[in-house]
Amino acid sequence: MLSFKRFRWHHLLTAVAAVLVFAVLNVPNKLSALTPLAFVRLPLEGFLIAGFFLALPVRARPAAAAVTGTLLSFLTILKLIDMGFYETLDRAFDPATDWPLLSDAAESLRRSIGRTAALGVFAGIIVALAGFTLLLAWAMRRLARLTERRITSRVLASAVCAILGLQLVLGAPLTVSTTASHTYNKARQVYDGVLDKGDFRAENAADAFRNTPGSGLLNGLRGKDFILAFIESYGRVALDDPELAPSMDAVLDAGSVQLTKAGFSFRSAFLTSPTAGGGSWLAHSTFLSGVWIDNQQRYTSLLASDRLTLNKAFRRAGWRTACVMSAVSQPWPEGESFYGLDKLYLTQDLGYRGPRFTFDSVPDQFTLSSFHRLERTAADRGPLMAEIALMSSHGPWAPLPRSVGWDELGDGSVFTSIAEKADQATAVWSERNRIRQAYVQAVAYSVASLLSYVEKYGDDDLVLVFLGDHQPAPVVTGEGAVRDVPITIMARDQAVLDRISAWGWQEGMKPGAQAPVWPMNAFRDRFLAAFS
C-alpha cells in the first residue's frame, strides 16, 4: 500500500510539473490572447528542451534543468510585463529602453492607492515572482528525470513524427513556438534599440531653427501672452466614441458659445502622439522639440542635447517662460537647462491646502488660478509664454473634483466636502463602463476649467493652444486604437489665426473626421515657420 501511494504521488507531482511547464511555454503576452485556444497546441520548445537534456550527461541534467527553469521563469515574467504594458500603454515592453518606466509605474500606483497599499502590492509581487521562479526550477528538474529512462528518446521521436504527420494530413499546425517567438522579438527589440541611437542622433541634428536669432523668431506673436496647456489623457476617443462624445460635446459646445461671445475664434485638428495610456513626458518633449520621442532612451538623449524647444524659442525672442507642473514635487533641473524655463512651479509652489484628487493631484481649476495669480497679475510685466500640465484627467479618474466659483477657491479648502462625496477609485474600477464614464467626466472637467479660465481672464493679447498628450489606456479605448489627440488654437486677434490659414485646420474646438492629422513632432517647425 505504501509503495502504491508513493507511486501515485510520484506520478501526480510529475503531472503537475508537466502541466506547469506546458502552460508557461504556451502562455501569450497579451491578456486578450489568454484564451483556452492558446493552450490546445503543443509547445515546440518542450521537445527542444527535452532533446537538450538527452544530449547532456545524466549527472549534468539536474543543474541544467534548474538553470533552464530559472531562465524560463524570467521569460515568463517578461510576458507578464508585456501584458501590463499592453493594458496600460497599448504596446509591448521594450527591454532595451523601458526599464525606467517600471519605477514610474510604481510611482503611479503609489499616487493612485497610497504608499502603504502600494508597498503591500510590491511585497506581494516580489514574493510571488520568487516563488514562481523556484516552482518552475523544481518542475524542470522533475521533468528532467524522465530523460534518464531509455524509452524517453524513442517516445519523443515517435511523438514528433506523429505530430508532423498529423500536421501534413490536417493542413494545420499542432505545435506552436510562443516562447521562442517572444524571445526572438525581445532580442530584436534590443538590437533595434542599439541601432536607434544612431538614428536619433541624425534626426536630432536636423534642426532648421537651431541658429535662428531671437529677432527672427515669433514676430507674429509680439506682445502676446502664449499659453500652452497639455490636458492629460485627452484623446480622440473622447470626441469619437458614441458613448463618451456627448459629455465632451456639451463642454465644447458651451465653451464655444461663451468664448465666441467674448470675441475668441478657434481652429482645431489632430496630432498623432508617440505614446498611449501613459508616458506623458514623451509626448510633451516630442511636441516641444519637434523630434519624435517614443521611448525613454530617446528622451534621455534629447535632454542631453541642445535641441531648440518651443520654450527656448520664446525665451530667445524675449518672452518670459514659465511652466506649471502641479503633479511634480521633486526638483527638475532639466526645466531650465534643457527646456529653457525662467520659472518652474511645482506642487508646493501653488499654495494648495485642500484634499488631493485622482493621481494625488491638485484640481485643475486651482492650478490655473494659482498660475494667474503668480504670473499674469504682475505689474509692468512683459509677454509671457507658459506651459501648463492639467492633471485632473489622469487615471484612475477618481476621486474627481468639480468646478466652483473662481472667487471661492481660496487655499483649496473648499474642495474638502467635494472630495468626501466623490466616488473612489475602488468603486469606479469595479466595471469597465464606470471607468469609461469616469474618464470622460475627468477630461470634461479639465477642459471646462481651462475654457472657464479663458472666459474670465482672457484678453486681446492672449493666445492659447491646448491639446491632449496621449490617448487613455485600452480599458477606455479598446485594444489597438489610433494614437490621435485633439489640438486647438484660440485667440481674439484674427491676425493670429490668419497666419495658420494654410494649415487647413477646422473651425471650432471639436475637430471632425476630416480634420488634418499631423505627427506630433511636426507642430514645432510649422508653428515657428508660421509666426516667425
Q: What is the mean pLDDT of each run of 10 residues along the chain (532 residues)?
A: 59 86 90 84 78 82 89 92 91 87 78 80 90 92 73 53 48 62 86 90 95 96 98 98 97 97 98 96 98 96 96 98 93 92 96 95 98 93 97 97 97 97 94 97 98 97 98 96 98 97 97 97 98 95
Kindly give, in sequence order, each residue whose CB lies less than 8 Å from that of residue 19, ignoring residues fewer than 6 positions away. none
Residue 104 exposed, middle or buried by CB count within 10 Å (0-12, 13-18, 19+): middle
Kindly give, in sequence order, each residue whose CB lies less than 8 Å from that of residue 439, ignoring residues fewer than 6 positions away. 233, 238, 244, 393, 395, 397, 472, 476
How many Å apart are CA 449 and CA 371, to the nearest integer? 13
Query: Among all chains, which residue has been given the C-alpha cell 499546425?
Result: 173
Residue 376 exposed, middle or buried by CB count within 10 Å (0-12, 13-18, 19+): middle
Domain ranges of the chain: 2-191, 212-531
Q: Are 227 and 261 in contact (CB under 8 A)?
A: no
CATH fourth-level superfamily of 212-531? Alkaline Phosphatase, subunit A (3.40.720.10)
Distance of CA 396 to the CA centre of its chain: 13
Name the grid cell of 312: 527656448
Question: In this predicted structure, what is the pLDDT of residue 241?
Answer: 98
pTM: 0.89
How many Å apart are CA 152 and CA 54, to the nearest integer? 9
491 SS3 class = strand
How many Å apart are CA 124 and CA 120, to the nearest integer? 6
Query: Among all chains, which residue has been given the C-alpha cell 533552464?
Result: 68
Question: In this predicted structure, what is the pLDDT of residue 3?
Answer: 56
How many Å apart are CA 173 and CA 267, to the nearest integer? 54
DSSP 173-217: -SEE-HHHHHHHHHHHHHHHHHHHHHHHHHHHH--TTTT--GGGS
